[in-house]
Amino acid sequence: GRAGCDSASWRLSYRHMATSVARQSATRLLGLPLAEDDPVRLVEALEAGLPKSALTRFKRRAGLADADLAGLLRVGARTLTRLKGQASGPLPADLSERLYALAAIYAEAERVFGDSATALEWLAAPQFALGDKVPRELMASELGRQQVSAVLKRIEHGLLA
């Protein structure tokens, strides 16, 4: 009875805390003070567009070349160069959402593996659990990000060696 309820509420609390840690890390990767504890405000901030500095910061923290970042964000290399070169104005909303989603996966990998170097190494190497695909190469699509996240969760819970 009561013990089961406490256990269920603990699991829910733990999931929320783990999600919050991953989200906070995503903002750290982007160098942003977003209101991630309030999903409505986060959505509003993404719809308004992230500052262009978030692109450069994420690129540097993730160790990505311009061409790799452009591919992950599904924009042309010239578009990315143009966006980075513009001094003012935020990123478009769709690009802001994709950038945040990528940062969240990178942050999740850092949390699971305990450090940035190991996370970056894992994201750049073929993984058996992903059909020997490179996680980073799958992350340009929402479905690919979901698959990478699912494998990270399995690793975190000891379901993959």
**Selected residue with higher pLDDT from 30 and 123:** 123
Q: Quick check: 129 and 154 in contact, CB under 8 A?
A: yes
74-90 pLDDT per residue, tens: 999 898 888 877 767 89
pLDDT of residue 36: 66
pLDDT at 35: 62
Instruction: Please report the beta strands in 2-137, taking only residues with DSSP state E, as ranges in sequence order.
Output: none
Helical residues (DSSP H) of 31-76, grouped into ranges? 39-48, 53-62, 66-73
Residue 3 pLDDT: 44
Give me the chain's average pLDDT, please. 83
The radius of gyration of the chain from alpha carbons, rounded to an integer in Å, stands at: 17
28-42, 91-105, 117-131: which range is least confident on average? 28-42
What tokens appear for 67 in the block? 């061409």
pLDDT band at 14 (very low <50, low <70, confident <90, very high): very low
> For helices 116-123 and 93-113, what crossing angle results, to 10°?
110
With 60 as the cut, is the pLDDT of residue 13 above it? Answer: no
pLDDT, tens digit (0-9, with 9 covering 90-100), for 119-158: 999 999 999 999 999 999 999 999 999 999 999 999 999 8
Residue 33's pLDDT band (cuts 50, 70, 90): confident
Tokens 């450069």 locate to 56
